[in-house]
Amino acid sequence: MARSITYREAINEAIAQEMARDERVIVMGEDNVGGTGAPGEMDAWGGVLGVTKGLWGKFPDRVMDTPISESAFVGAAIGAATGGLRPVVELMFIDFLGVCFDQIFNQAAKFRYMFGGKAVTPVVVRTMWGAGLRAAAQHSQSLLPWVTHVPGLKVAAPSNPYDAKGLLIQAIRDDDPVIFAEHKMLYDVAGEVPEESYTIPFGEANVVREGGDVTIVAIGRMVNTALEAATELASSGVEAEVIDPRTTSPLDLDTIIESVENTGRLVVVDESNPRCSLASDIAGLIAQEAFGALRGPIQMVTGPHTPVPFADSLEDLFIPDAARITGAVKTAVDWKK
Amino acid sequence: MPDERIQRVSMPKWGLSMTTGKIIEWFVSEGDTLAKGDDVVEIDTDKIAGTLESPVSGLVRRLVAEVGDELPIGAVLAVVAPAEVPDADIDTVVEEAKAAAAAGELDVPDEPVPQLVEVDGRQISYLTMTPDEPSGDPVVLVHGFGGDKNSWLFVQQPLAEERTVHALDLPGHGASAKDVGDGTLTMLAETVVGFFDALGIERAHLVGHSLGGAVSAAVAKAAPGRVASLTLLAPAGYTPDADAEYLRGFAAASSRRELKPLLGRLFADPALVTRQLVDDLLRYKRLDGVDKALSVLLPTLLDGDRQAIDTPALLDGVDVPVTVVWGAADAVLPPPDGVGERVQAGHMLHMEAANDVVRVLRSSL
């Protein structure tokens, strides 16, 4: 039965249900337990934003704290995955990819390929992404393009609690390494989530809203911003179809193509920096695969090519908002009208 | 002192998840005279559109809601009153209604919530609606293959104006346990009888749709004293013909792209298949255990490309009134010539022609 829980609770529930179902599932990361035996441990359980709170109490032998050394503990999780466990490891911010990237892109992502399919690496790297938390340039980035670029990695970026639970269970059961990107501004968003376990297949986009005038593809938190824009557009007679790819790798290009064949216009919304972004990737793929269907120029709505600013006012300007999306839609729709 | 001559037509609640409805089309104008049961307005619930029948009779004085308005349950849509009630009084009622809707102070009845009961070791989910003073035997609604209790959204509430009405989720469906054992018709019928026992139902009118129709017939055969009447809506097993491709495709489909065109075959008007309807079914199909449940149940329905159930044989010797209703445009289980009544709909007649189905049920119960 479905009830309303938050994105944070949905993630916690997915891990708890999979740990109960499969004893090979373990949880590793900084402050998950909180330094057992140390003063203040009760407050620290559950990672920096409390997502894994309560898991240690349920599964004391399978939730462990790690030192602040991502290269060591992400590597250890990948090693444990090759050895038969199914680790869910928390990389506190996606911005810390740099210190453990070799383990992820040059080791985990390559094993299945280089060992001719004889090795599997069922590791999930949970990590927080996105701007908006006033956390400055080193804790606010949207580095999904980095991991989406690497064959051998799967990348999920849920935009709501229902998808968060289903995609995370799928990630844990998947035999390939998965980067599970949690948008930090969505943790308190609530939505209907079944109590039972379920999986959402990777590579299946969600058509969040149907419309015949323009296709808006948006990722993570931007799905909600795109819906806000779509509501405004509807009042001026423009019906937008909003597509949430849910996973950036594999990407459900077919659903986007089918939609663009119907609408003739595409706007891609992505919080990343604009160059070599998810927006430019999807725009390029559609320009190649569905050029004949296009009735106006593809529009990309992204952050600017700068670090994420620390000043509140500038950070707010950095993040794409509904007004920028409606502006982009109007450019596409009004083209040579 | 409220003027009792002034009556209100309000936004109905169709189904568990409906919170608002959107006005699609008015079938009446100000100045028209309404009779109870007349079509008043088409409302989109987000899942499926339905036609509201008038709960009152009288002169339509004011249409409060406009086409395109999205309004909460309980919001006043129209005001009905005799011509002698002054316009000023009607205006007051309309203003009050608009203020109440804006402030969120609406007269929404207490909602029943689904319950769980254990039957043969399985958790069975059900929803009960009951009037203040129920009369006669209760009604039990049994959905079809891949359906659930919420498919009765347009039917359960009107029937519950007079009787207690239970809608259950069969094993493998909705919020019930997903283990279906051997998945035979016998097992499904035993679950329904066990449900009667668990709820202390001595005897009930059974209303079954599609596979649920065959299940209901099997219950009447196995437990004759427990069934007051049978109403079978597009029941499985009347002829060997079936759209086997649909049934197998539905069981196997795991994506929106696969599922949506299949669901169109369920309705005479495929436009009724909304994004939300597809999404709800996908959400069900993704639950752990559903794949297996549907694949175990499929051979109960199908033997090769033909229907495996023989419902007339089940009904042989059953000594209760049996009413059979078909959607004339049913493409999934084509209606046999000369059997039962027809309504203008496809296989999902209780959704597509709900008001006609309710009328048949009111006369057959």
ipTM of this complex: 0.86
Same domain, B56 and B159: no
Domain limits at B180? 115-364
Average pLDDT, chain B: 93
Q: A191 forms bridges with which residues in the sheet?
A: A5
Q: Domain segments of chain A: what residues?
A: 2-194, 206-334
Residues in chain A closer than 8 A to B292 (CB atoms): none
Residues of B with CB under 8 A from a CB of A: 17, 114, 125, 175, 178, 254-257, 275, 279, 283, 286-288
User: B172: left (phi > 0), else alpha (psi -120 to 50), else beta?
Assistant: left
* Residue A38, pLDDT score: 58
Phi, psi dihedrals of residue B257, rounded to the nearest 5°: -65, -35
Residue A226 CA to residue A9 CA, distance in Å, equals 24
Please report whether residue B42 resides in a domain. Answer: yes
Q: What is the pLDDT of residue B187?
A: 97
Same domain, B78 and B177: no
Identify whether residues B53 and B157 lie together within a single domain.
Answer: no
Q: How confident is the model at residue A34 (pLDDT cuts 50, 70, 90)?
A: low
- Separation CA B294–CA B306 (nearest Å): 17
List CB contacts (< 8 A) between A1 and chain B.
114, 125, 175
Q: B98 with B150, same domain?
A: no
Return the higher-pLDDT residue of B339 and A199: A199
Say which CATH number the domain at B99 has. 2.40.50.100
Phi, psi of B59, rounded to the nearest 5 degrees: -90, 130
* DSSP 8-state assignment for residue A106: I
Instruction: Tell me if B241 is assigned to some domain.
Output: yes
d(CA A123, CA A154): 11
- In the stretch 178-217 of chain A, residues with CB closer than 8 A to chain B read 192, 194, 196-201, 204, 206-207, 209-210
A22 near B CB under 8 A:
no
Task: Judge if B284 and B263 occupy the same domain.
Answer: yes
Q: Give the per-residue pLDDT at A199.
A: 97
Mean pLDDT lowest for which of B13-17, B168-172, B355-359? Answer: B13-17
Query: CA–CA separation, A173 vs A195, rounded Å?
Result: 18
B1 domain-assigned: no
**Average pLDDT for A175-191:** 97
Of A139, A149, A183, A305, which one is the catalytic site residue? A139
Kindly indicate the confidence band of residue A314, based on its pLDDT and cuts at 50, 70 and 90: very high
pLDDT band at B104 (very low <50, low <70, confident <90, very high): confident
DSSP character at residue B110: P
Task: Say if residue A56's pLDDT is above 90.
Answer: no
Q: What is the pLDDT of residue B3?
A: 80
Report the 3 state secondary structure along B113-181.
Answer: CCEEEEECCEEEEEEEECCCCCCCCCEEEECCCCCCHHHHCCCHHHHCCCCCEEEECCCCCCCCCCCCC
Give the global pTM. Answer: 0.87
d(CA B25, CA A334): 31
- Residue B177 phi/psi, 5° resolution? -55, 145
SS3 of chain A: helix, strand, coil, percent, to 5: 40, 20, 40
Element (H, E) at A191: strand A190-194
DSSP-assigned letter for residue A284 = H
- How many angstroms separate the CA of residue A198 from the nearest CA in chain B? 4
Q: How far apart are CA B39 and CA A169, in angstroms?
A: 46
Q: Domain check: are B211 and B353 in the same one? A: yes
**Domain shared by B125 and B160, yes or no:** yes
Residue A225 contacts residue A269 (beta carbons within 8 Å)? yes
Task: Using the 3D structure, point to which of B103, B136, B156 is the last residue of a domain.
Answer: B103
Q: Is B95 contained in some domain?
A: yes
What percent of chain A is modeled with pLDDT above 90? 89
Pairing assessment for the beta strands A240-244 and A178-183 based on DSSP bridges: unpaired
Please give the pLDDT value at position A1: 56
Q: Which pLDDT score, from 0 to 100, does residue B90 have?
A: 92
The angle subtended at Cα A290 by Cα A286 and Cα A294, nearest 5°, is 95
- Residues B91, B157 within the same domain: no
Of B256, B257, B286, which is closest to A199 when you measure between CB atoms? B286
Whether A2-194 and A206-334 share one fold: the answer is: yes
Task: Find the length of chain A.
Answer: 337
Comparing CB atoms, the residue among B178, B275, B287 nearest residue A210 is B275
The answer to whether B334 and B250 have CB atoms below 8 angstroms apart is: no
CB of A171 closer than 8 Å to CB of A131: no
Q: Residues B99, B120: one domain?
A: no
Residue A255 contacts B where some CB pair is shorter than 8 Å: yes
- Whether B37 shows a pLDDT value over 90: the answer reads no
pLDDT grade, residue B106 (50/70/90)?
Answer: confident
pLDDT classification of B105: cutoffs 50, 70, 90: confident
pLDDT given for residue A36 in this prediction: 55
Asked if residues A26 and A64 have their Cβ atoms less than 8 Å apart, the reply is yes
Which residue in B has a C-alpha nearest to residue A242's C-alpha? B275
Would you say residue B179 has pLDDT above 70?
A: yes
Mean pLDDT of the A76-96 span: 97
Q: Is the pLDDT of residue A32 over 90?
A: no
Q: How confident is the model at residue A44 (pLDDT cuts 50, 70, 90)?
A: low
DSSP-assigned letter for residue A103: I
Contact predicate A334/A299, CB 8 Å:
no
pLDDT for B237-293, tens place per residue? 999 999 999 999 999 998 888 999 999 999 999 988 888 889 999 999 999 999 999
The answer to whether B156 touches B150, Cβ cutoff 8 Å, is no
Question: Structural domain tally of chain B?
Answer: 2
- Give B218-239 pLDDT, tens digit per residue: 999 999 999 999 999 999 999 9
In a domain, B305, yes or no: yes
The predicted-structure confidence for A282-308, as pLDDT tens digits, reads as follows 999 999 999 999 999 999 999 999 999
Mean pLDDT, chain A, integer: 94
Who contacts B88 (Cβ-Cβ below 8 Å, separation ≥6)?
Answer: none
Lowest mean pLDDT among A129-133, B13-17, B205-209: B13-17
CB B125 to CB A1 under 8 A?
yes
Of the given ranges (A202-216, B52-66, B180-194), which has the lowest mean pLDDT?
Answer: B52-66
Dist CA B16 CA B151 (whole Å)? 10
Alpha carbon of A1: minimum distance to chain B alpha carbons (Å): 6
Cβ distance A198 to A142 under 8 Å? no
A149 catalytic? Reply is no
Residue A41 has pLDDT above 60, yes or no: no
End-to-end CA, chain B: 39
> What proportion of chain B, given as a percentage, has pLDDT over 70?
99
The secondary element (H helix, E strand) that includes residue B195 is helix B185-199
- Of the listed ranges A19-28, A181-190, A233-242, B105-114, the least confidently predicted one is B105-114
For residues B26 and B76, is the Cβ–Cβ distance under 8 A? Answer: no
CB A269 within 8 A of CB A279: yes
Mutate to test the interface with B, among A167, A172, A207 (most CBs of B within 10 A): A207
Which pairing describes strands A178-183 and A124-129: parallel, antiparallel, or unpaired? parallel
Label residue A38 exposed, middle or buried (CB < 10 Å: 0-12, 13-18, 19+).
Answer: exposed
Let me know whether B173 and B301 are in one domain: yes
The half-sphere exposure of A59 on its side-chain side, counting CA atoms within 13 A, is 23
> Rounded CA gap, A27 and B270, in Å?
47
Mean pLDDT of B166-181: 97
d(CA B350, CA B253): 24
Name the residue facing A198 among B17, B255, B286 (closest C-beta).
B286
Q: Are residues B164 and B34 in the same domain?
A: no
* pLDDT value at residue A35: 56
CA distance B8 to B92: 13
**Given pLDDT bands bounded at 50, 70 and 90, which one contains residue A60?**
confident
Q: B40, B70, B103 — which closes off a domain? A: B103
The half-sphere exposure of A275 on its side-chain side, counting CA atoms within 13 A, is 3
**pLDDT at residue B97, as a whole number:** 86
Domain end among B44, B72, B103: B103
Do B236 and B210 touch, CB atoms closer than 8 A? yes
Average pLDDT score over residue span B324-331:
96
Can you tell me the distance from the alpha carbon of A93 to that of A130, in angstroms, rounded to the nearest whole number? 9
The superfamily CATH assigns to domain A2-194 is: Thiamin diphosphate (ThDP)-binding fold, Pyr/PP domains (3.40.50.970)
- Asked if the Cβ–Cβ distance from A1 to B175 is below 8 Å, we say yes
A206-334: CATH topology is Rossmann fold (3.40.50)
In a domain, B173, yes or no: yes
Report the CATH number that the domain containing residue B285 is assigned in CATH.
Answer: 3.40.50.1820
In this structure, is residue B2 part of a structural domain? no
- pLDDT tens-digit series, residues B57-84: 999 999 999 998 888 888 999 999 999 9
Same domain, B157 and B57: no
Q: Which of A192, A197, A204 comes nearest B255 by C-beta?
A: A204
